Structure 1
Amino acid sequence: MSSKPPPLVPDSIDLSEALRRSAPLTQLRARLQESADRFEAIRGALPGALARHVRPGPVDEEGWSLLVANAAVAAKLRQIKPHLEGLLREQGWQVSSIRIRVQSN
């Protein structure tokens, strides 16, 4: 019979429980999931070669960001941005703006 050893610190909780209890971390986790869900909603509309250079970025009150590898990818993405915003609206997302951010290495 194996039992869990007592915590090193009295009344301590494990990390997963602490994350569940933290309102800011719960909100962060929800925003990360929303960003990933939005990205899945538009992934099919990204041209094949372009898609691998685009990642989901943060969601906030002002909109959603897509993170891109370079200025050329950003330029192409800006051309199809109205289409991507329309796709999100069609799928029920509140879309104020998609921002395109070039990631520096």
Structure 2
Amino acid sequence: MTNTKEAVVSFAIISKVREKLMSLNTKFDELLDFPCLLNFKVIGNTDPKLEDNIVAVAQKHVPGNYAPSSRKSSKGTYNSVSIKIKVQDKDQIEGLYVAFGAIPGVVRVL
């Protein structure tokens, strides 16, 4: 029974991600020359696993060696993690934005 619930939840998440990607309608393809190195900044609630989760998502979408940098907010409530990724096209950028945003505790992706 648990596997069925997990499958339903996974399907719902995939559907939301697909819907979100379809609605982005960005103009990255008009503004950037691909491939290019892009810096993503992910801001999330303070969590010791945040950086590892971000690297795991980056590895899943664009395998490579990543050396992210992290900073805590002045009050220690949030962490910001910057990671440079060599992207190949607009779809890859949009997919990364959505995937980073789906990490638990993430509040903003820049």
TM-score, reference length from structure 1: 0.34
Which has the larger Rg? 1
Give the number of the structure with larger relative contact order, counting CA–CA contacts within 8 Å between residues 6 or more apart. Answer: 2
Higher strand share: 2
TM-score, reference length from structure 2: 0.33
